[in-house]
Structure 1
Amino acid sequence: MTERSAPARAMPAVGRRDFIRLAGATAAGWLALGAAADRMRVVASITGLPLDDELTRRNMTDTTTSRLGGLIGGLKQRGWVEGVNIRFEVRSSFGAPAKLQAAIRELLDLKPDVILTSSTIETAAVMAATTTIPIVFATANDPVGNRFVASLAHPGGNVTGFTSSTAEMGGKWLQLIEEAVPGLTRVGILFNPATTPRAGRFFLDSIEQEAAASGMTVEAVPVDSAADIDAAISRFSNPPRAAMIALVDSFLVINRQAVVAAAARYRVPMIYPFHYFVDAGGLMSYGPTLEVRAADYVDLILRGTRAGDLPVQSPRKYELIINRTVASSLGLKLPFTLLARADEIRE
């Protein structure tokens, strides 16, 4: 177990186009590593977050721990250098549904060699637009159930990528929040049916099974707009003792500040699937450790490997993060057995 303070503020945003330049090497030096020099390759990326979102800015910095920075650094090690033999293009689909289609059209017009997607929604939309350009999803739940791939071992088609959670995670979230909140009798499950896997059922089944075994009452709390978040969470501020679980959901990630603020305002303990929510002031999270592994696949695809021949990879490690200061503000005295299992405790 390690104890660390919250991470430092993200680096400021950089330009929309050609936003990261990795310098310090000549073209000849990097081409010696074996990357093709016949033409400039285009790696396109689409995200559901606004480009000025703090999480987007963090992912677009040139550090190896950021998603895009790690990708660029990993490709650089393999001989692909921004501005020399590869170019990165990023578009945001944030906004009305038409914005998603417009962003995809912009990227397709660039004739990219590979497209990286950030969520289930973007992956489905890009797949509907092309069956030939290789697609690598950075995070996806239930890629087989969503018909992104034929199987995890043999995806087929033009798509592969990385999963972020299994259905059994739902039951694990319930166990953890029950351990953190003594006397807990009911739990609300917050999600947007339009943006969470199988409209919520992907995780709800295991949550309900765990609840039945422990005598807990579980209530699904669907929301479909940011304006619904406050009222949805306020319902769990009254007796009997209640808590909430936020599902894996791109809508909730985009609106994480509003979710965390409402949970604090109404003093509702909530567990989240990603550390992004704890970064915003949330109580605790349990989810996959961020590993930037896309460079391996993008490199292979740029060298001619079919995306469908690359197996979908699952997380190799999960992490439990707890903010003890937030717990104290909610009147929670967390048991030592829970704290001892935490990978990170924030004060």
Structure 2
Amino acid sequence: MIDFSVPMHRREFVALAILTAAVRPPELHAEARQYRIALLTLDSSERADLIKGPLRDLGYIEGKNLTFIHRSADGEPGRLATIAEELVRDGPDVLVAGWGTLAPKALKAATDRIPIVFATVGDPIGAGLVQSLARPGGNLTGMSGQSTEFKSKQLEFLLGCVPGQRIVGVLLNPDTPYSALSLKQLETAAEQRGVQLELLQVRRADQFTPDQMDRLVLRGATSLMIVEDPLAATLREAVVEQARRLRLPTMTGLADYARSGGLLAYGFSQTANYRRAAELIDKILKGARPADLPVEQPTRFELIVNLKTAKAFGIELPSLIMAAADEVLE
């Protein structure tokens, strides 16, 4: 027992403090909180680093205070439900759904308790994921692909690159809620510009054939717009190949189309959306409820121009479009 009535020199006090800390029971030492985050994606090409990088910037470091799990359905929608149930059983603090509607729908069906943040859903209200953008309700929130002027701007860029068009083809999946929203915006924009739309509707990858593209051109289409969804992403190589064969300029919000040989891509920044999704995750881990966190709309869009494809098609790209481009592929 220490007699505090006896004066203690500073050196003795420091020594006593060190000794006391050394013999303190282990359970009294503060331990860093360990968080578990699980990412579900439809396509394995959607890299986990898109979300892990922003989380690292916010202080969530894998192996230190973060355990991160990434599961992919490898492009097979039928596997999503089983994988979602497995992730829920693992009991993560937050579930993250990759780009598209199918992954968050699978997670929502698997749990109404664990918070879910989706990276980008074209129409989260139409997909039945949230009640409204401002007040999502339930256990989901995230990033929306909705933007009032988005499709109008895409059509504007496409017509600017290939003036004088009267018929524009539109490739879409009619079973995706976002397609209905996009088509409505496109129809309004096309009517304002005196352009007719010819639809090429595809529900499964095996439904897309060269004959369909031939018929689209026979119906007068002089370019092709591709409505963004996971199926469109899966069809990228096949669509670009047929567009090249038919010398058909393309426009979509999927950047990889332009990088694979399509003419134009104009869409939201996937990197920026994942960064905002990470910030939503951070808020949830600090106590916020997904129901109270508004679904955010994209604020940053990028225009990519494939100059090599333009030259191959004999298209002289306007200087205004070249100046507006965030990336020019030569």
Query: When the two structures are superposed, what TM-score results if normalisation uses the length of structure 1?
Result: 0.79
Contact 2:169 2:221 survives alignment (8 Å): no
Worse-superposed segment, 254-263 or 73-82: 73-82
CA contact (8 A) 1:161 1:312 kept: yes
Tell me the distance in 1 between the aligned counterparts of 2:310 and 2:142.
36
Match of 1:320 in 2: 303
1:109 and 1:302, CA in 2 relative to 1: closer, same or farther beyond 3 A?
Answer: same
Partner of 1:5: none
Report the count of equivalent residues: 296
The residue aligned with 1:299 is 282
Relative distance call for 1:235 and 1:287 in structure 2 (3 A) is same
1:177 aligned onto 2:171: no
Partner residue, 2:119: 138
Letter in 2 for 1:82: E
2:294 matches 1:311: yes
- Give runs of aligned pairs for residues 118-197 of structure 1, distance below 5 A: 118=98, 119-194=100-175, 196-197=176-177
Asked if the contact 1:243–1:269 (Cα under 8 Å) also holds between the matched residues in 2, the reply is: yes
- 8 Å CA contact 2:85–2:107 kept in 1: the answer is no
Contact map agreement 1:282 1:323 (CA 8 A) in 2 = yes
Which residue of structure 1 lines up, in the alignment, with residue 319 of structure 2? 336
| Cα separation, partners in 2 of 1:36 and 1:263, compared to 1, 3 Å | farther
Counterpart residue number, 2:38? 44
Find out whether 1:268 has 2:248 as its counterpart. Answer: yes
Structure with the higher helix share, 1 or 2 = 2
What letter is aligned with 1:234? D
**Conserved? CA contact 1:36–1:85, under 8 Å:** no
Summarize the alignment of residues 1-347 of structure 1 with structure 2, pairs less than 5 Å apart. 37-38=32-33, 40-49=34-43, 51=44, 53=45, 56=46, 59-61=47-49, 67-68=50-51, 72-118=52-98, 119-194=100-175, 196-198=176-178, 200-229=179-208, 230-238=210-218, 240=220, 242-290=222-270, 291=272, 292-347=275-330
Question: Residue 247 of structure 1 contacts residue 272 of structure 1 at CA under 8 Å; is this kept in 2?
Answer: yes
Question: What residue identity is the alignment partner of 1:37?
Answer: A
Q: Distance in 1 between matches of 2:77 and 2:48?
A: 24
TM-score for the superposition, normalised by structure 2: 0.83
Deviation at 1:239, TM superposition (A): 7.8
- Counterpart amino acid of residue 48 in structure 1: L
Q: CA deviation at 1:241?
A: 5.8
> Equivalents in 2 of 1:263, 1:145: separation in Å?
31
**Superimposed CA distance per residue, residues 293-316 of structure 1 (whole angstroms, 9 cap, x where no aligned partner):** 222121221222211222211112
1:24 aligned partner: none
CA contact (8 A) 1:233 1:268 kept: no
| Cα distance in 1 for residues equivalent to 2:300 and 2:76 | 35
**Deviation string for 1:102-130 (max 9, x for gaps)?**
11122112111111112211112211221
Tell me how far apart the structure 2 counterparts of residues 126 and 160 of structure 1 sit (CA, whole Å): 12
Range that drifts further, 293-302 or 133-142: 293-302
SS in 1 for 2:188: helix
Distance 1:227 1:76 in 2: 40
Q: Which amino acid aligns with 2:40?
A: I
Structure 2 portions without partners, runs of 5+: 1-29
Q: Which segment drifts farther, 282-291 or 336-345?
A: 336-345
